[in-house]
Amino acid sequence: MGGGQTATIEVPTDQAMRDLGARIAGFVRGGDVILLSGPLGAGKTTFAQGFGAGLGISGPIVSPTFTIARELDGSFPDGRRAHLVHVDAYRLGGASYAPGQDSVGRLLDELESLGLDEELEDPGEDTVVLMEWGEQMAAALAPERLEVHIERPPAPASAADGADAAPTSEGMRLVRLVPVGRRWQTLPIAALARR
């Protein structure tokens, strides 16, 4: 894995998710790749909104429906220009997305046709890549990355019969931060988790 310590953070509300995204944006710099994963409605785009706000991006961050990636301009905390590439790889793979080599190859082809493979392999010095659902691809393309895994914990158990608990539709999410590669060793992950 090559990562540093990981942290699991309780995120009770959508605002808290935006706040977490904004705090993490306070630590990024050009060349960074952030990978967001989690099921439908987990809060990936909500995190991305806070992240964008943290980079001073005023325009709305939405799940791109007709586009796979959006590029937005903002600034790093030190005032330097930041260029955010927000990729929604779920849209890229469509409904047929499924983990596995075939889909990785297909998705890589699609990224390539958009010129996004280079952006991921060698992001410009002021570029930050934030990718939703990209677990398979970013692992293939970006050896150093911050993985943000969002989970909806099961609703408090009412079923003693062992049936699968329904996920909560609102409220609490668990966010696991997994730094991969040297770049992320210095992320103050415990401090991010504490607030």
Per-residue CA distances from 1 to 78, 141, 178, 181 (Å): 31, 15, 10, 8
Going by C-beta distance under 8 Å and a sequence separation of 6 or more, which residues neighbour residue 113?
A: none
Please choose, from the candidates 6, 1, 41, 38, the residue with its C-alpha nearest in 3D space to the C-alpha of residue 168. 41
Residue 43 binds ligand ATP (CB under 6 A): yes
Residue 38 binds ligand ATP (CB under 6 A): yes
Q: Which of 46, 57, 138, 141 binds ligand ATP (CB under 6 A)?
A: 46
- Partner from Mg ion, ligand ATP, none contacting 110, C-beta within 5 to 8 A by type: none
Task: State which residue, 17 or 187, has the beta carbon closest to Mg ion.
Answer: 17
Helices in the chain by DSSP H: which ranges?
14-25, 44-54, 89-93, 101-113, 116-121, 135-141, 189-194
Residue 44 binds Mg ion (CB under 5 A): yes
Task: Please identify, among the stretches 40-48, 102-110, 122-130, 153-161, the one whose residues bind ligand ATP according to the rule CB under 6 A.
Answer: 40-48
Task: Please identify, among the stretches 42-50, 74-82, 92-100, 137-145, the one whose residues bind ligand ATP according to the rule CB under 6 A.
Answer: 42-50
Per-residue CA distances from 72 to 9, 58, 62, 77, 185 (Å): 28, 9, 11, 16, 27
Task: State which residue, 93 or 179, has the beta carbon closest to ligand ATP.
Answer: 93
Residue 86 binds Mg ion (CB under 5 A): no
Per-residue CA distances from 77 to 23, 28, 123, 186 (Å): 11, 9, 19, 17
Only one residue has tokens 């005023």, namely 58
Task: Please identify, among the stretches 30-38, 59-67, 143-151, 183-191, the one whose residues bind Mg ion according to the rule CB under 5 A.
Answer: 59-67
Minimum Å distance from CB 182 to ligand ATP? Answer: 29
Residues that bind ligand ATP (CB under 6 A): 11-14, 16-17, 38, 40-46, 63, 90, 170-171, 173
